[in-house]
Structure 1
């Protein structure tokens, strides 16, 4: 890094209804893998990926939270200390898109960001490879403009435009980190170590 400091650790949270593809998008980005076998996330899951961002070495902690009501409360404590939040929906499901406002408000309440009006949200529409689309890009973009979020869409299954939203989340998260450094705040964080192998995993 330009200031001679160690890597920056950023916490990126993925939230949204169950079945929209949060885990699939995360796994496709980090591990370059996709499976058609659906397994609901129980509580939370997370992966790490190290990237270079504007001269900074950044360790991304990407958290995938459960989208079902049964496990929803388990994820809310982990909202705290996040640097960027990705709101994920399924473009073939109007209900999953309509639910994003509830998810966003819950994040702002439970996550307690230092400046809620300036906190970065990335909205991500998944499953664009399917033909039975119910939410247009225009409609999603209009809502994003209303709440000050940025919009991306793609397909985890077809590996279509998967990297772009995460790169942008890292950029916005880094800006948030530099503006509101979380050092010595007592927020819950996990240190990620990159193994000697080329694949990205975490030793926690």
Structure 2
């Protein structure tokens, strides 16, 4: 977990920290519209720096935080607007939280853990399948070569 607090000065360090990630969590403040408006920039920057093998299916989770402030009266980003954005990006899971009141934080991070583990298992399975395919291909090629040599010996 790497918390940049939305500070752009950390973007240049991204590639060193993003590579090998199993999931990306982007948190915004529901009371600051600009915080929400930068979600896409952070998502794109992460994908650029992390360079995952399949950017379209890389798992993200979005968290709208600080829902407790002013009883929700100072809220600038509606839950619907945030959910619509998440839906438009491939149905990214969305959680609304209050870190101050410890509301929905455990649920959000449980989803993060499950998503990261699932991603890691998928990556491992894909690598295992690629290895198995390579071994089968190599064995098949050797069999063909052996059969070819044996047929040549029979013809002579």
Task: Please give the range of the TM-score, normalised by the shorter of the 2 chains.
Answer: 0.7 to 0.9
Q: TM-score, normalised by structure 1?
A: 0.57
Alpha-carbon distance, 1:137 to partner: 0.2
Q: Match for residue 122 of structure 2?
A: 179
Q: 1:144 aligns with which of 82, 86, 92?
A: 86
Q: Structure 2 matches for 1:90-101, cutoff 5 A?
A: 90-101=29-40
The structure carrying a bigger helix percent of its residues is 2
- The separation in 1 between residues aligned to 2:96 and 2:36, in whole angstroms, is 12
The CA deviation at 1:181 is 2.8
Structure (1/2) with the larger strand percentage: 1
Say if 2:106 is the partner of 1:163. Answer: yes
Conserved in 2, the CA contact under 8 Å of 1:114 and 1:180? no
> 4+ residue runs of structure 1 moved beyond 4 angstroms?
none
Unpaired stretches in structure 2, ≥5 consecutive residues: 128-156
Partner of 1:135: 77
> What TM-score do the two structures reach when normalised by structure 2?
0.73
**Contact residue 84 and residue 119 of structure 1 kept, 8 A:** yes
Unaligned runs of 5+ in 1: 1-61, 185-204
Which structure would you say has the larger Rg? 2
Equivalenced residue count is: 122
How far the C-alpha of 1:70 sits from its partner, in A, is 2.6
* 1:127-163: CA deviation from partner (whole Å, max 9, x where unpaired): 0001310000000000000002110011001111111
What's the RMSD between the two structures over aligned residues?
1.7
